Structure 1
Amino acid sequence: MDWLRRDPVLAASCAAALLSTLFVPPSRAYLSYLDLRVLCLLSSLMVTVAGLKKAGAFAFLMGRILKVVHNTRTLSAALIGVCFFTSMLVTNDVALITFVPLTILMLAQRQRLMAFVIVLQTVAANLGSMLTPLGNPQNLYLYGRFNLSAGRFLSIMALPTAISLLLLCLALLWIRPEAVVAPVEAMPACPKAVLPWAGLFCVCLLAVLHVLPYGLALAVVVLAAAVLDRPILRSVDYSLLLTFAFFFLLIGNIKSIPAVSQGLSTLLNGRELTAGILLSQVISNVPAAMLLAGFTENYEPLLLGVNIGGLGTLIASMASVISYKLYAAQESARPGRYLALFTGINLLFLGVLWAAAALL
């Protein structure tokens, strides 16, 4: 039963999907519940980003950025900023998996600052990722579910993202600028290793923008990965794909029960922003987006709700759990202090952005 402890969201989604089959017996209709576009695009992106990381693209980027820092404030700004901006293209969880370990290494002698910076990195990754359809799984799902154009998506999320960046800049003022030793040199990245994966990322982007068929994009990515670096295919987070599949099944079955479907639609109408934020606090924002999107066509407040709702509790965004685990794995870690700091900062950001979104 180790998988239950390793991935409680997968376990919960599986249990909920199985429970729903008691009310809607299995049939061929189940196949129509699956959103193949989302599953294919998510798979393609995960493979491609894993390839870029292994080729050294992110390490090279971080090394170049860190060459210009002069004190603890600029160092923190670089570590937080790289999470904010890279998450827009490589997802919030990948940004944190990649850059939080570097923060732990570089701030090993400054434990209090380390916790503060990692919390802000987590906030930055969750908020930066909301700008683009590629930034996180819920965006990719809602982008396809409501058939949005890239321009429309960006127009909805641009102002909240700009406000988020301003809040992060203000938070940096709490860091006292103290001199630091020149950080690591930029790690070399081999163009021959990076370019094929960069090309595959462009293929994924064209599929997201509806220029290429999503099935063709997945086939190209998988075949190329098998030739370039076959072990990369084993690094894909298949549990996330299974979680999506189970939620597709659950939502499809709920919508097949007229009384339940109608009741949820009526309850949600006009309350998408609040529902997205509050539900995210208890089941995380990806399943919240998938569940609520089945019962409303009012996509703008829902999109804002499940993205802003990634702030708040530790489980509001599963990416937040990643950075917590990385921090807590240290011998000198103080998990209780981290959680208190995390909750306070997240609630502050959540309150400001919730109020701003309500006025949009």
Structure 2
Amino acid sequence: MNLSFWRALRRDRFFQLLLLTGVGLSLCVPFAPRAWPAAVDWHTIITLSGLMLLTKGVELSGYFDVLGRRMARRFATQRRLAMFMVLAAALLSTFLTNDVALFIVVPLTLTLRKLCAIPVNRLIIFEALAVNAGSLLTPVGNPQNILLWGRSGLSFVGFIGQMVPLAAVMMLTLLALCGFCFADRALTYHTGARSPVWQPRLVWSCLGLYLVFLTALELKQELWGLAAVAVAFLLLARRVVFSVDWTLLLVFIAMFIDVHLLTQLPVLQAVPDRVETLSAPGLWLSAIGLSQAIGNVPATILLLNYVPPTPLLAWAVNVGGFGLLPGSLANVIALRMANDRRIWWRFHLYSLPMLAWAAAVGYGLLRLVDAGL
């Protein structure tokens, strides 16, 4: 992992941008490196580590090749395949969370590239948008909903009922856009694609370890769960541990520290005092804008200290997952897994219009719901 790890860091422009941003912010706020480790959400880092190991295990087992070949033969056109992958990503995100859904669908999408000619980057972008749209429906779809649900006092079904209108509009919009952006032409298969050879033993081991890891997360013993998964792979298939893109964890750590430094800026220190006096449109735009700057999960944590967990706040921070890359951690995960520099700017060609649409239509729809129409 040594040389490849450092080479990956040297090529990682996004990580370098985060470092430069951190240095710049450090010049504008009190310099307190001892506080930086506390700014990192280590639960998220540990959870991501376990999921990365498990997903890489399934990928190296060859099972994605088998599944990808079956899917490529089942869907005759690019449009049908794209719509299936977008719907699958959205559905998985409703109960597995948006991050976990991406760890399943993005590696599968990359495998499909080896079997047939599809616009992979565009499909991964749509999958990132899909998990943001799908995950907003349920209390366990993403971290901000877990926080909001815990504070709201609503039942599981009650929370879903509150989010259904926004989720429906965003998914219908995404499917319509998907139909427009993917051609209804027959899939072209690569003639050199070999029949897949896979390792059932490794796949079943990954499934068992996934259950172990989920149990550890449920028992708040995530570190022990990660240790169990890592040791198991070192014994069963060591190459899994050394094939994971560990630089992704550094990207997330740098993001958490940058967000911490950003919230220390004097201009943001004054935000909480003004939030309580905001009108409904003001809170809507503030929550979305704050999500764009620091991410929708930190924005939710910050705003819940000053405003109740109303449907307006829940809708706004979920809308904030669209738009700029930092709006949702799922955006970063999807684009990093694509491993293509061109995808970073192309993502915004789709996500920024989606943000504008969601912000405008979402607020209008919220007003109609509040009016009982």
| 1:280–1:309 CA contact under 8 A, matched in 2 | yes
| Equivalent residue runs for 1:57-136 within 5 Å | 57-87=63-93, 89=96, 90-91=99-100, 94=103, 97-101=106-110, 108=117, 117=123, 119-131=125-137
Task: With the length of structure 2 as denominator, give the TM-score of the two structures.
Answer: 0.67
Deviation at 1:351, TM superposition (A): 4.0
Deviation at 1:193, TM superposition (A): 0.8
Tell me the equivalent position of 2:318. Answer: 307
Partners of 2:203 and 2:23 in 1: CA distance:
40
Deviation at 1:299, TM superposition (A): 4.6
SS state at 1:310 partner: coil
Deviation at 1:77, TM superposition (A): 1.8
Tell me the equivalent position of 1:203. Answer: 212
Deviations 1:264-294 (A, max 9, x none): 322334655433322344x363xx5325513
Amino acid at match of 2:52: M
| 2:116–2:189 CA contact under 8 A, matched in 1 | no
Deviation at 1:199, TM superposition (A): 2.1
Deviation at 1:231, TM superposition (A): 4.2
Tell me the equivalent position of 1:49. Answer: 55
Deviations 1:185-217 (A, max 9, x none): 995643311122222222333344x34533332
Equivalent in 126, 142, 146 of residue 143 of structure 1: 146
| Equivalent residue runs for 1:286-325 within 5 Å | 288-291=296-299, 293-297=301-305, 298-299=308-309, 301-313=312-324, 316=327, 317-319=331-333, 321-322=335-336
- Structure 1 residues 144-153 or 164-173, which shifts more? 144-153
| 2:40–2:253 CA contact under 8 A, matched in 1 | no
Q: Name structure 2 gaps, 5 residues minimum.
A: 1-8
| 1:284–1:318 CA contact under 8 A, matched in 2 | no
Tell me the equivalent position of 1:332. Answer: none
In structure 2, relative to structure 1, the CA distance for the partners of 1:41 and 1:17 (3 Å cut) is farther
SS state at 2:56 partner: helix
Amino acid at match of 2:210: F
Partners of 1:213 and 1:86 in 2: CA distance:
24
In structure 2, relative to structure 1, the CA distance for the partners of 1:352 and 1:291 (3 Å cut) is closer
| 2:102–2:127 CA contact under 8 A, matched in 1 | no
Tell me the equivalent position of 1:168. Answer: 174
Tell me the equivalent position of 1:14. Answer: 22
Deviation at 1:327, TM superposition (A): 8.0
* 1:246 has 2:252 as partner: no
Task: With the length of structure 1 as denominator, give the TM-score of the two structures.
Answer: 0.68
Equivalent in 173, 187, 203 of residue 194 of structure 1: 203
| 1:10–1:242 CA contact under 8 A, matched in 2 | no
Equivalent in 232, 257, 267 of residue 274 of structure 2: 267
SS state at 2:323 partner: coil
Partners of 1:119 and 1:231 in 2: CA distance:
29
Amino acid at match of 1:128: G
Partners of 2:315 and 2:131 in 1: CA distance:
16
| 1:96–1:122 CA contact under 8 A, matched in 2 | no
Q: Name structure 1 gaps, 5 residues minimum.
A: 330-334
Amino acid at match of 2:23: A
- Structure 1 residues 52-61 or 29-38, which shifts more? 29-38
* 1:228 has 2:228 as partner: no
* 1:217 has 2:222 as partner: no
Partners of 1:213 and 1:353 in 2: CA distance:
38
| 1:92–1:129 CA contact under 8 A, matched in 2 | no
| 2:139–2:149 CA contact under 8 A, matched in 1 | no
SS state at 2:340 partner: helix
Amino acid at match of 2:228: V
Amino acid at match of 2:107: T
Partners of 2:355 and 2:319 in 1: CA distance:
10
Deviation at 1:34, TM superposition (A): 5.0
Q: Aligned residues, how many? A: 339
